[in-house]
Every structure is written in C-alpha cells, then in structure tokens.
A and B are shown apart, each in its own frame.
Chain A
Amino acid sequence: EPEVTQTPSHQVTQMGQEVILRCVPISNHLYFYWYRQILGQKVEFLVSFYNNEISEKSEIFDDQFSVERPDGSNFTLKIRSTKLEDSAMYFCASSGPGTGELFFGEGSRLTVL
C-alpha cells in the first residue's frame, strides 16, 4: 500500500541551527501538508502546498519556516534558525484530488537543545 515516508525519524539540534525535514508523499497525490504536534498537545496545521506553491499557512508558519518541492518527489520543511519551542513531532501528509482524506507519514521528532 502506498505510504508517506519521512526522514529523519528523530533529529536533535542546537538552538539557532537550520533543520530540514524531508517527506516523500504518495506518488499520485497533489496536495501536501505539514503539521506539528508539541508533546502532549493537539496536532496543529502549519502549511499546505499545491501546484508548487503554498496554498494556506497558519500563524505558526512564520518567516523561519519554508517549504519546497525540489525534485518532484520530495517535499521538505526547513526551519531556518531553530528555537526551543520548535521541539515537536512534525507530520507530513498528502492527499489526492477530491478525497479530503489525508495520509500521514510516521513523523519526524525534532528536539532543539
């Protein structure tokens, strides 16, 4: 069964460092998303991406964040200068046209020290 894959599964970084989280969405999907879940809290929407551009983003997705689809298969989330409060599980998701169902990756746990 097709699945969304994410790497790395866990990354530890120092505050102020840049981090790139990678996702490979399901191949025929057109819509891509990043969500995050701070430990013990609800899942929060960060950004959605369609047709090579951001279609929606939340207040959390400030100038420190960026997304890219560099090669037609990967979908990346970059955090330019990490802060302690960026520590969370980051989930990538993708969906096909008209389904409304998001398929999630297993998540990348980011720990900022």
Chain B
Amino acid sequence: AQSVSQHNHHVILSEAASLELGCNYSYGGTVNLFWYVQYPGQHLQLLLKYFSGDPLVKGIKGFEAEFIKSKFSFNLRKPSVQWSDTAEYFCAVSRPSLDSNYQLIWGAGTKLIIKP
C-alpha cells in the first residue's frame, strides 16, 4: 500500500536556525507532491507543490522543497525559521488518475516549535 513517512514527529528549533523536514513516499509511479501547513487553531494551507519540471520548488513564506525521485523524497527546507513558523507540517502525495480524482495520502505530520 502507498504510504508517506515523515521522519520527525516533533522538531524544536531556535529562531534563525535552518530547517529540514523529511518526507518519503512509497509509490513508484508518477506522483504529485505537496506540503501543507496547519498553524495553531487554523485550517490546512498549501505551502508548496510539485507536479513536474524543476525538482526544486519554492513556496510561500520562504519555504522550498526538493523532489529527489531516486530517493522517493520531498524534503521541506527553510534557511532561517521565525517564531511564526510554529505549526504542524504535513507532506502529502497524490497520483494522477484517469478521472482526475486526486486522493491525497498524508504523512503523520511534524509539529514544529520555534523558540523565540
């Protein structure tokens, strides 16, 4: 069965530290890749997505992610985090289907806490 693994359930960093959150998936075919963020008490928001093309994807708020097909990975990075980045981050994978029905397979999420 398809799965999405996020390596860290909790990450605590100080402001200005660099961030990398790991995401690996198990599906071998063509995939669409997403990172969603959920700020405390809020709904899910798209951070960035990869469908095709340049494997280094830039998203909102200074986040980027790199798709490495050979490693089945789509790690999220930010060079210098801010207190406002405190949130839960979810990696998700979908595979295109004939009827364009995209069911996302979700990782378990990584809770990121930034210490001021």
Chain A residues at the B interface, C-beta cutoff of 8 Å: 30-31, 33, 41-45, 48, 50, 55-56, 91, 95, 97-98, 100-107
B101–A106 CB distance below 8 A: no
Interface size class of B (residues with CB under 8 A): 20 to 34
Main secondary structure of the interface of A (DSSP, over half): strand
- 13 residue pairs of the A-B complex, CB under 8 angstroms, read A33-B103, A42-B109, A43-B44, A44-B106, A45-B103, A45-B106, A50-B99, A56-B103, A95-B102, A100-B94, A101-B34, A104-B36, A107-B43
Distance from A39 Cβ to chain B, minimum over Cβ atoms (Å): 12
- B46 in the interface, Cβ–Cβ < 8 Å? yes
How many A-B pairs have beta carbons closer than 8 Å: the answer is: 53
Q: Are B90 and A100 in contact (CB under 8 A)?
A: no
Residue of B nearest to A50 (CB): B101
Known: A42-B106, A43-B106, A100-B32. A48 touches B43 (CB 8 A): no
**B63 at the binding interface (Cβ < 8 Å):** no
Interface residues of B (CB under 8 A from A): 32, 34, 36, 42-46, 49, 51, 90, 94, 96, 99-109
A100 & B108 in contact (Cβ 8 Å cutoff):
no
Q: Of all chain A residues, which has the CB nearest B102?
A: A100
Q: Is the CB of A100 within 8 A of B49?
A: yes
Q: Is B103 within 8 A of A105, CB to CB?
A: no
Give the docked Cα–Cα distance between A45 and B106 (Å): 9
B43–A91 CB distance below 8 A: yes
